[in-house]
Chain A
Amino acid sequence: KAGVTQTPRYLIKTRGQQVTLSCSPISGHRSVSWYQQTPGQGLQFLFEYFSETQRNKGNFPGRFSGRQFSNSRSEMNVSTLELGDSALYLCASSSTVSGNTIYFGEGSWLTVV
């Protein structure tokens, strides 16, 4: 059974640009959550989607947005990139079968220059 898949794994963007990251959850998982990980701030919750609806949102500016499709795949978008957005972005999925256990992907490393 395939795990959580995130693309791209690595990317470099310029300040002011926007970026879209993609996440394919484990088959059958309908909940997808996103986290930002930086050396200084640790692991911070961005948002969670379930059945195409945003169910939880962390304390991030409106430049950070996401969505979920009917096949449970999810994307997150960051507009007007800032240097401080450089981070590892992690996607995780879960299901009612997995209970409240979330499973992470390998992450997308974003560098803003």
Chain B
Amino acid sequence: GDSVTQMEGPVTLSEEAFLTINCTYTATGYPSLFWYVQYPGEGLQLLLKATKADDKGSNKGFEATYRKETTSFHLEKGSVQVSDSAVYFCALSPPMKTSYDKVIFGPGTSLSVIP
């Protein structure tokens, strides 16, 4: 079945460091891919998404590119801030033709950014 694998962390970085959180997936067809972020004490917020191969999603300085050939959707940010400390979830949703299937989430990666 469909699945999402991501590095679980925790990841600790100094402010202004470069961030990469790896995410790979297994799915049939062309799923949509997402990154969600959860700040302490809050629900999940959609950070960015990509719906087809080679699409790049971006938001708040974060980027991720849908790589069909490597089945990956790695999250990157050039310079992290303390306010980026949160848990990041990679997720996939099957193609619309099978939209009855549920969204599948990775285990989440905890990021701590220290001043």
Bound-state CA distance A92–B44 (Å) is 9
Residue positions of B touching A, CB distance < 8 A: 32, 34, 36, 42-46, 49, 51, 89, 93-94, 96, 99-103, 105, 107-108
Consensus secondary structure, chain A interface: strand
Instruction: Across the interface, name the chain A residue whose C-beta is closest to B94.
Output: A100
Q: With contacts A43-B44, A43-B107, A56-B101 known, what are 12 further pairs, Cβ within 8 A? A: A6-B43, A43-B108, A48-B102, A56-B100, A56-B102, A99-B51, A100-B94, A101-B34, A101-B93, A103-B46, A104-B43, A105-B43
Q: A82 at the A/B interface (Cβ < 8 Å)?
A: no
Q: Which A residues are in CB contact (< 8 Å) with B89?
A: 43
Residue positions of A touching B, CB distance < 8 A: 4, 6, 33, 42-43, 45, 48, 55-56, 58, 88, 90, 92, 99-107
Taking the closest CB of chain B, its distance from the CB of A31, in whole angstroms, is 9
Q: Which B residues are in CB contact (< 8 Å) with A104?
A: 36, 43-45
Q: Which B residues are in CB contact (< 8 Å) with A90?
A: 43-44
Instruction: Check A55–B43 contact: CB distance below 8 A.
Output: no
Taking the closest CB of chain B, its distance from the CB of A40, in whole angstroms, is 11
Instruction: Check A45–B44 contact: CB distance below 8 A.
Output: no
Also in contact, A33 and B96, with CB within 8 A (given A104-B44, A104-B45, A106-B42): no
